[in-house]
Amino acid sequence: MRIIYIRNNNLTDRHKATAMCWSARTREVLVMTLRTMALLVGWSLLALSGYCCAQESEDFPDSGLTGEQWQQRVQDARRRSEEFVANARTHKDDPPPSDKEDAQAADQRAMHDPSLQRGDIIATSRGFFVFVGRDSEERQPSDFLPTPKPLYPH
């Protein structure tokens, strides 16, 4: 390995000096490595594109259709779409449950929650209640007591 002293701090001179330090053998190895990498990348891309293009026509069942058959399929799909839209416009959905029904359903879910433990507080449409029942028993209204009123209002 040769050592070259650089008198000028210019960056381009440093690169020139470094390039001059490399032996001919080192440059040949570098060039061969770059060529090999370029060939590997090229072969990989070529193989990948060949794989993508080599799919059988049986993978695409519509590839054997004639123009008339394709048009017929498009017309059938349009007709089905129009029928669906017409049915959706004429079909009346069930009315949403009222607020009172929603509140009652939420109260029932809270009171029958299997994870309730003695001392838990639940919020219902009628206020806050403390669970005083047992974990293993079927829930009864007597298992819940109203929470005491706060001493200091907010």
pLDDT in tens, the chain (154 residues): 455 555 555 555 555 555 556 677 888 888 899 999 999 988 888 877 766 655 555 566 677 788 898 899 999 999 999 999 988 888 877 777 788 888 888 888 888 888 888 889 888 888 889 988 877 667 888 888 998 877 776 6
Q: What is the C-alpha to C-alpha distance for residues 27 and 34, in angstroms, rounded to an integer?
A: 11
Is residue 113 in some structural domain?
yes
pLDDT of residue 35: 92
pLDDT of residue 13: 53
pLDDT of residue 148: 83
Is residue 2 in some structural domain?
no
Dihedral angle computed from the Cα positions of residues 8, 14, 20 and 21, in that order, rounded to the nearest 10 degrees: 100
Is residue 73 in some structural domain?
no
pLDDT of residue 29: 85
- List the domain range (segments joined by +) for residue 142: 99-146
Is residue 37 in some structural domain?
yes
pLDDT of residue 127: 87
Q: What is the C-alpha to C-alpha distance for residues 32 and 28, in angstroms, rounded to an integer?
A: 6
Q: What is the C-alpha to C-alpha distance for residues 14 and 83, in angstroms, rounded to an integer?
A: 77
Residue 59 identity (one-letter amino acid) = D
pLDDT of residue 84: 92
Q: Does the reported pTM lie above 0.75?
A: no
38, 53, 68 - which closes a domain: 53
pLDDT of residue 56: 55
Is residue 126 in some structural domain?
yes
| CB contact at 8 A, 131 and 114 | no
Q: What is the C-alpha to C-alpha distance for residues 54 and 119, in angstroms, rounded to an integer?
A: 69
Question: How many structural domains compose the chain?
Answer: 2
Instruction: State the DSSP code for 58.
Output: G
What strand order describes the sheet that includes 121-124?
121-124, 127-131, 144-146
- DSSP H helices, 59-146, are 67-90, 99-111
